[in-house]
């Protein structure tokens, strides 16, 4: 018996070292070439934003020494308001949306994950199903509601809905996270006389910080990049967020001032890039549980 | 488990407890409190508007005067409109070409990125970055220049002596550039595939290799079947999202859907009918038709999944 195990023939063909090496080199070459293709447009955008306007399309290369911050100075003041105004607008919207999602989604998630109530499965199914509903079917009536409320050209239509847990993705993300917490913590708290509100505020909230971070990061990236909502609700240039301001460059592009437009594009991408750089761990965790972008 | 897997479980009614009565539901009142915001949102911003837009789709409504009931007029007008069918064709092409290419690339790259290989997290970051930025106006602006007459793509083609067209301005190619943009954002499904691959127990491969299965055999007998639920999940959601694509078509075409309506996405036409023509009834009819089309695609996907998706439960 033992001899049989020891002398068991190994039908696995272990490849020769040189074959493994060739395979590895081929693979890395492929990956590096593809990475370069993927990332090249972004690098080109960055380099071009520092080139004198006349050079951008005359020389497409990213290797140049003739760099100037001139486009940033021009672009910043090219539209009706300085670009800083649009950045402040975007920041207000993003901050409000993050706050709303954190509060409302975690409350709903606590109920779905920890409370026993009639109709829970049905409510949960409806919530998950709402992920798949095309928002266009809500667009016109929502516009009428917000118009009647006198909210046009304010940030409220973009912020207020977030306080009503309308982003089912995040509710689901937090439900998954709360379900993963050890039940004993909650039981111990209940025995010590803590009500559900205490359990939510003092136990769940601190323990689900990774899910909260993921929610905050995704909310930031989505609201910062959002174009449709502002396009519908914000018609006055001084209320524009950066996405609409960039479209403003496109509309006014008779002067073919590509440099300014590129420079402000870089400015608008920078916060998203920083969030990506420092929040990657949470982003990856987030998309693997919910399948969002 | 994914949101879709969860939904499937609920639909099959597993987890369902037989006993009923008050002791089973001790938290009814507390739950009402915790779910109040969600409930208000569901009623006021989802279900209410759904019903309202269904009603509006049978009316003539321009925001200023009260809606006038016109029966099926919007729908007959819609189905008789060549522009409507063109936008439908453009969107379906975008979905049916773009999504499979994007997912195939995502899967291929996920397979290439072995566990513990050198540079894994760097590659993953580079491939993922575009899908994070891809929906923004800045990237759409960049795309206009990359595929412009004097842009990067033509600069590259010029090395080979090819004089490329202005891709964005050509009715035959403009939609293609948007499909390429969608493919460029393959990073997020790739990350989902990667996570799925990591969940396949190592022992399956050990057992298979002891039984003499080679690399390709292992892929077709273990990896692919166990990955099918994730492929399915990605497919369903990416199709639903692709149907709603808007920003990129809007910005790349400068808000026109041109050249020659070649990038007039369904959502773009819908937006124009609603907010440029103020034809809210017609737009609502279009929105409901979109819901039905997306539902049909999703249902078809679920039906088809019986034949190729492998669930081990």
Q: What is the pLDDT of residues A73-84, one digit of tens each?
A: 989 998 889 999
Residues A53 and A134 in one domain: no
CB contact under 8 A, B145 and A258: yes
User: Distance between CA B221 and CA A149 in Å, rounded?
Assistant: 59
Residues A62 and A80 in one domain: no
Specify the residue for token string 């370069």: A36
Residue A101: per-residue pLDDT: 97
Short-list B292, B301, B298, B297, CA closest to B50: B292
Q: Which domain holds residue A57?
A: 22-68
Instruction: Please tell me which residue, A57 or A154, carries the higher pLDDT value.
Output: A154
Domain boundary among A68, A95, A129: A68
Exposed, middle or buried, B228 (CB in 10 Å: 0-12/13-18/19+)? middle
pLDDT digit string (tens) for B211-239?
888 888 888 889 989 999 999 989 999 99
Residues A60 and A128 in one domain: no
Residue A199 counted as domain residue = yes
Q: Is the CB of B294 inside 8 Å of chain A's CB atoms?
A: yes
Residues A102 and A234 in one domain: yes
Residue A195 counted as domain residue = yes
Instruction: Please tell me which residue, B12 or B76, carries the higher pLDDT value.
Output: B76
The mean per-residue pLDDT over the stretch B80-100 comes to 96
Residue A4: per-residue pLDDT: 44
Short-list A271, A48, A9, CA closest to B151: A48
Q: Are B69 and B85 in contact (CB under 8 A)?
A: no
Is the pLDDT at B82 greater than 90? The verdict is: yes
Which of A78, A118, A140 would best serve as a mutation to test chain B binding (most B beta carbons within 10 A)? A140
Q: Give whichever of A2-16, B22-36, B148-162, B273-287 has the largest mean pLDDT.
A: B273-287
Residue B202: per-residue pLDDT: 87
Residues A177 and A55 in one domain: no
User: Distance between CA B209 and CA A2 in Å, rounded?
Assistant: 21
Residues A181 and A157 in one domain: yes
Residue A282: per-residue pLDDT: 83
User: What is the H or E stretch that residue B69 is in?
Assistant: strand B68-69
Residue B272: per-residue pLDDT: 96
Which chain A residue shows the shortest CA-CA distance from B44?
A: A142
Question: How big is the A-B interface in CB pairs under 8 Å?
Answer: 282
Question: Could you tell me which residues come within 8 angstroms of residue B202 by beta carbon, excluding any fewer than 6 positions away?
Answer: none
Using DSSP's 3-state secondary structure scheme, residue B59 falls into strand
Instruction: Please tell me which residue, A59 or A155, carries the higher pLDDT value.
Output: A155
* Whether CATH 3.90.550.10 fits B77-308: no
Domain count, chain A: 2
CB contact under 8 A, A38 and B145: no
The mean per-residue pLDDT over the stretch B179-198 comes to 92
* Least CB–CB distance from A288: residue in B109, B192, B270: B192
CB contact under 8 A, A45 and B6: no
CB contact under 8 A, A125 and B7: yes
Residue A216 counted as domain residue = yes
CB contact under 8 A, B3 and A290: yes
Residue A12 counted as domain residue = no
Is the pLDDT at B176 greater than 60? The verdict is: yes
User: Distance between CA B163 and CA B156 in Å, rounded?
Assistant: 10
User: Distance between CA A158 and CA B19 in Å, rounded?
Assistant: 43
Measured in angstroms, the CA of A66 and the nearest CA of chain B are apart by: 19
Q: Are B282 and B263 in contact (CB under 8 A)?
A: no
pLDDT digit string (tens) for A112-129?
999 999 999 999 999 999
- The percent of residues above 90 in pLDDT, for chain B, comes to 64
Q: What is the mean pLDDT of chain B?
A: 91
* A272-276, A280-284, B287-291, range with the lowest pLDDT: A280-284
Question: Could you tell me which residues come within 8 angstroms of residue A89 by beta carbon, excluding any fewer than 6 positions away?
Answer: A155, A239, A240, A241, A242
Domain boundary among A10, A34, A68: A68
User: Which residues of chain A make contact with B127, given a CB cutoff of 8 A?
Assistant: 34-35, 38
Residues A157 and A285 in one domain: yes
CB contact under 8 A, B133 and A272: yes
Residue A264: per-residue pLDDT: 94
ipTM of the complex: 0.90
CB contact under 8 A, B52 and A144: yes
Residues A80 and A42 in one domain: no
**CATH number for A237:** 1.10.3720.10
Residues A36 and A97 in one domain: no
Q: Are B290 and B266 in contact (CB under 8 A)?
A: yes
Q: Are B75 and A195 in contact (CB under 8 A)?
A: no
Residue A102 counted as domain residue = yes
Residues A178 and A249 in one domain: yes
Residue B141: per-residue pLDDT: 92
Residue B31: per-residue pLDDT: 92
Measured in angstroms, the CA of B307 and the nearest CA of chain A are apart by: 23
Residue B117: per-residue pLDDT: 83
* A11-25, B27-41, B87-101, B293-307, range with the lowest pLDDT: A11-25
Residues A147 and A55 in one domain: no
Q: Which long-range contacts (CB under 8 A, 24 or more apart) does B95-101 make?
A: B95/B239, B95/B242, B95/B243, B95/B297, B97/B179, B98/B178, B98/B179, B98/B182, B98/B183, B98/B242, B99/B182, B99/B235, B99/B238, B99/B239, B99/B242, B101/B179, B101/B183
CB atoms within 10 A of CB B102: 24
Domain ranges of chain B: 77-308
CB contact under 8 A, B27 and A258: no
The mean per-residue pLDDT over the stretch A132-145 comes to 95
Which chain B residue shows the shortest CA-CA distance from A274?
A: B129
CB contact under 8 A, A12 and B209: yes
Residues A238 and A130 in one domain: yes
CB contact under 8 A, B25 and A118: yes
Distances from the Cα of B226 to the Cα of B143, B193, B201, B219, B311, angstroms: 37, 11, 10, 10, 8
- The percent of residues above 90 in pLDDT, for chain A, comes to 63
The mean per-residue pLDDT over the stretch A241-245 comes to 95
Residue A8: per-residue pLDDT: 52
User: Which residues of chain B make contact with A127, given a CB cutoff of 8 A?
Assistant: 38, 42
Which chain B residue shows the shortest CA-CA distance from A263?
A: B138
β-pair partners for B59:
B69
């Amino acid at each position: 018996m033992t001899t049989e195990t020891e002398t068991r023939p190994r039908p696995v063909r272990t490849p020769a070292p040189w074959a493994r090496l060739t395979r590895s080199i081929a693979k890395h070459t492929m990956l590096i070439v593809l990475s370069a293709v993927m990332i090249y447009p972004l690098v080109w955008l960055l380099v071009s934003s520092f080139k004198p306007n006349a050079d951008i399309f005359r020389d497409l290369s990213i290797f140049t020494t003739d760099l100037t911050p001139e486009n940033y100075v021009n672009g910043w003041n090219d539209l009706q308001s300085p670009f800083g105004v649009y950045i402040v607008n975007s920041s207000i919207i993003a901050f409000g949306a993050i706050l709303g999602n954190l509060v409302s989604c975690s409350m709903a998630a606590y109920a779905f994950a920890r409370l026993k109530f009639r109709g829970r499965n049905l409510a949960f199914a409806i919530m998950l199903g709402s992920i798949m509903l095309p928002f266009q079917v809500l667009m016109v009536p929502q516009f009428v509601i917000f118009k009647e409320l006198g909210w046009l050209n304010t940030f409220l239509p973009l912020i207020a809905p977030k306080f009503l847990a309308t982003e089912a993705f995040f509710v689901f993300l937090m439900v998954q996270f709360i379900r993963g917490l050890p039940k004993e913590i909650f039981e111990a708290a209940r025995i010590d006389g803590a009500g559900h509100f205490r359990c939510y505020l003092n136990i769940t909230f601190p323990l689900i910080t990774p899910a909260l971070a993921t929610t905050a990061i995704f909310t930031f990236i989505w609201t910062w990049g959002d174009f449709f909502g502002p396009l519908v609700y914000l018609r006055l240039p001084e209320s524009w967020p950066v996405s609409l301001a960039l479209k403003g460059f496109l509309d006014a592009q008779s002067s073919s001032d590509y440099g300014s437009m590129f420079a402000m594009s870089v400015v608008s991408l920078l916060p998203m890039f920083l969030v990506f750089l420092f929040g990657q761990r949470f982003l990856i965790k987030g998309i693997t549980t919910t399948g969002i972008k | 488990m994914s949101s879709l897997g969860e939904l499937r479980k609920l639909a099959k009614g597993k987890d369902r407890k037989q006993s009923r009565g008050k002791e089973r539901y001790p938290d009814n009142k507390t739950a009402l409190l915790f779910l109040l915001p969600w409930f208000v949102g569901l009623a006021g911003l989802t279900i209410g508007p759904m019903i309202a837009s269904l009603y509006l789709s049978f009316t003539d409504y321009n925001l200023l005067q009260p809606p006038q009931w016109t029966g099926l007029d919007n729908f007959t007008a819609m189905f008789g409109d060549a522009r409507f069918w063109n936008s439908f064709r453009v969107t379906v092409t975008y979905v049916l070409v773009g999504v499979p290419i994007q997912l195939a690339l995502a899967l291929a790259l996920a397979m290439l990125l072995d566990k513990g290989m050198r540079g894994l997290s760097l590659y993953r970051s580079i491939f993922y970055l575009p899908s994070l930025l891809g929906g923004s106006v800045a990237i759409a602006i960049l795309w206009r220049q990359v595929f412009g007459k004097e842009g990067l793509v033509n600069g590259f083609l010029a090395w080979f002596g090819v004089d490329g067209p202005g891709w964005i301005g050509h009715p035959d190619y403009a939609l293609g550039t948007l499909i390429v943009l969608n493919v460029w954002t393959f990073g997020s499904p790739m990350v989902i595939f990667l996570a799925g691959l990591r969940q396949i127990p190592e022992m399956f491969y050990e057992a298979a290799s002891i039984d003499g299965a080679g690399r390709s055999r292992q892929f077709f007998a273990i990896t692919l079947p166990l990955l099918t639920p994730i492929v399915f999940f990605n497919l369903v959601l990416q199709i639903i999202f692709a149907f709603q694509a808007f920003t990129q078509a809007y910005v790349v075409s400068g808000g026109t859907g041109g050249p020659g309506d070649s990038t007039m996405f369904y959502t773009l036409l819908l937006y124009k009918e609603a907010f440029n023509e103020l034809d809210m009834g017609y737009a609502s009819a279009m929105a409901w038709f979109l819901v039905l089309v997306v539902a049909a695609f999703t249902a078809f996907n679920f039906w088809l999944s019986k034949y190729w998706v492998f669930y081990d439960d």
